A and B are shown apart, each in its own frame.
Chain A
Amino acid sequence: MNSNRLVNRISRRDFLKLAGAGAASVALANFLASCAPKSDGGTLNVLVPAAPDPAPPGVGQFSLDAFEQWKKNNGFEVTYEAPPWPQLHDKMAANFASGQYVHDIIYMSGWVPEFADYLIDFADELPADIIADLPPSSFSTLTWGGKRLGVIFTLSLLTMFYNKEMLDGIGVKEAPKTWDELKGVAKELTGGGKYGWVLNYGAPEGIGGVASYWMCFLQQAGGKLYDDKGQPSFNNAAGVDSLQCMVDLMEFTDPGSLSYVGINDATNVFAAGQAAMMMNWPFMWKPANDPATSKVVGKVNAAVLPAGPAGTASIDGTDAYTITSLSPNPEGARKLIEFYLDAEVQKRQVLDTGWLPIRLSVLNDPEVQAAAPNAAVVLEQAKNPYDSYVTPDYNAVTTAIGVEIQKALAGTQSAADSIKNASDQVIEIVKKRG
């Protein structure tokens, strides 16, 4: 009865208005659907950082002829999107959150677990000769939920850079072998506006943030970030000792280190001859030996990081290529990644840009070792632990730890308190991980 009354109250004009609104909604929906981006299957969209950060042929200036030939042979156009580095993560997060196809291949730096749901496992489909030529451990930071969700394209572990001339000046002929030795050398070299050690402790989070550096110290002290059940396990003697080692070094560290945000800031101090030692990424070998940016050309040497109670340890930069699950052409994307991993392309990568290859055969190439003398050191470093402990909440974890470490380094909190506070926060973060 009520419904009849309602129907009777709708005039013909109201009915026409409703019908018009309905038709307009349907038309709009169809319009939106028809406007959705489609891949023609002939274009591969790739999201990478801009050079001189780790970039593929076509963004980095190497193997350009081979790249053109590959596109011709395989019938693909490749479109690169290279946003500023600080916005790279946010951009891919926005793209993934939209659920829209935007890219086929995406560069990742420690973010694989965070975006694991949007990536595909393709490592098993790579040719056997490539797989056999990669360090097996290179997949560890890319494996999540039992799936290998990417492939590393550059061996990027932290090693030690030191100024030979400055060490020679105090009669030290080789790099310190232990952190205690390093502190002694740093003490002697500090003075007159120069420092024994420099690093960027200004940013707490991410790979290259202070928390990630502490992970090197943690592993050399025999500690681990997580136990076998995935629970935080660093609130112990190894955790406190590792941070105390960093704190003790602060006396001989460039005080600017507390505010330097990027590795380039710390490298500038080292390259200006104002600091004798630092831990650094392999890529920095080239700028440190470039007269345009460095005053220590020919004086730089590399060595494995000093050892602690458990030996030497490092972390992995985890520069990798991944394929998105929304890619309409994952096979084409995989072929392009295979091209990036081609031995000749990998060789040009290191010779022309300074980014080390990941393929062992190329790393051991005499021409490569001559052009990048630090390659052998990085290979040696790779024989020791270099876990970066990446997780989906890596940013939150490293922020929590990094902020506490910064307090200890600034002298406002003891190492023990910092480790306890950091552990408490990470326990809460892990609980939310589920």
Chain B
Amino acid sequence: MPIIQRFLTRFFIRFGLITFTLLALGPVIWAVVTSLLPLSSLTSHPIDLNPANVTVENYFLVFASSRGLVSGLINSLIIATFTSAVGLVIGSMAAYALARLNMPNSSRILMMILATQMFPGIVIVIPLFLVMSRTGLVDTHFGLIIVYLSFILPIVIWILKGFFESVPMELERAAAVDGASPFQTFRYIVLPISLPPLFATGVFAFIEAWNEFFFAIILTRIHVKTASIAIAEFSGQYQTLYGQMLASAVLASIPVVALAIIFRRFILEGFVEGAIKA
């Protein structure tokens, strides 16, 4: 009986995991397959999946076309890197202050930070465009970084605050006994032991900024089009270049996937520690 029970338990766990993996990977696999087929195969009814038609032509075409995928990737890289870096620097200091420095009205400040996340983008986009336009920040990297920081910072602060609160107070008291100021304690004691959550949060912020589309489409024009806009431009009113669109999407997902692979240990540790300690 226990053997059967163990077998069934394992079977259902594996079945569940395989099903989840297939569901998660299905769209990704389909995107890769689509990117390797010519438009004539994709527009056939039913879709012609003959392996003989497989081609990398779409990948060459997206680089050759004038739709600006390369400049879009560069713009996205600049914007996402700066957003996550600045977000981590400011957000970690703010989170530490809110977690440890007994600031007056800290709970109100936290609620106000959270409240900024409750406005749908469509509500603020026109006032935002107006301000950005008057300050000459439309279609600039700086402008988009500021906007992205406005919604990434609250997330960073809330995630890191939870982690900093879980750092043993004894460590900080020991630093204080040795004469460390609050900033020195933060810089030399708290930050070094917080690398996993910092990396996890940084990667999360990078992905958010990398994938963002709505504000990018309104607040950019020509020079700072991001990768997500370049990908969307393959969809027209009268013709959608599915193969090239998906080839662009595959290329645009490479930096994010690479980031996740490189920092996977930190990401896993960060979220696990956050989950246990917070």
A→B interface (CB under 8 Å): 31-33, 35-37, 49-50, 52-53, 79-87, 90-91, 94-95, 97-100, 102, 109, 208, 262-264, 268-269, 271-272, 274, 281, 283-284, 287, 292-293, 295
Contact = CB atoms under 8 A, between A and B. Distances in A.
Nearest to A319: B237
Given A268-B45, A272-B43, A100 B133 contact: yes
A53 B238 CA distance: 6
A94 B129 contact: yes
Contact of B236 (A85, A94, A269, A295): A85
Given A81-B221, A97-B126, A102 B133 contact: yes
A195 B43 CA distance: 16
A52 B238 contact: yes
A292 B40 contact: yes
Contact of A262 (B39, B130, B240): B240
B116 interface: no
Contacts of A84: 217, 229, 232-233, 235-236
A200 to B, nearest CB: 11
Interface residues of B, number: 30
A99 B40 CA distance: 44
Contact of A268 (B43, B221, B229): B43
Given A81-B221, A95-B129, A100-B133, A49 B237 contact: yes
A49 to B, nearest CB: 7
B100 interface: no
Contacts of B218: 90-91, 94
B44 interface: yes
Contacts of B240: 262, 264
B45 A98 contact: no
A208 B130 contact: no
B222 interface: yes
B134 interface: yes
Q: Which of A33, A99, A293 has the most CB of B within 10 A?
A: A293
Given A32-B135, A35-B136, A50-B233, A281 B126 contact: no
Nearest to A272: B45
B239 interface: yes
B135 A35 contact: yes
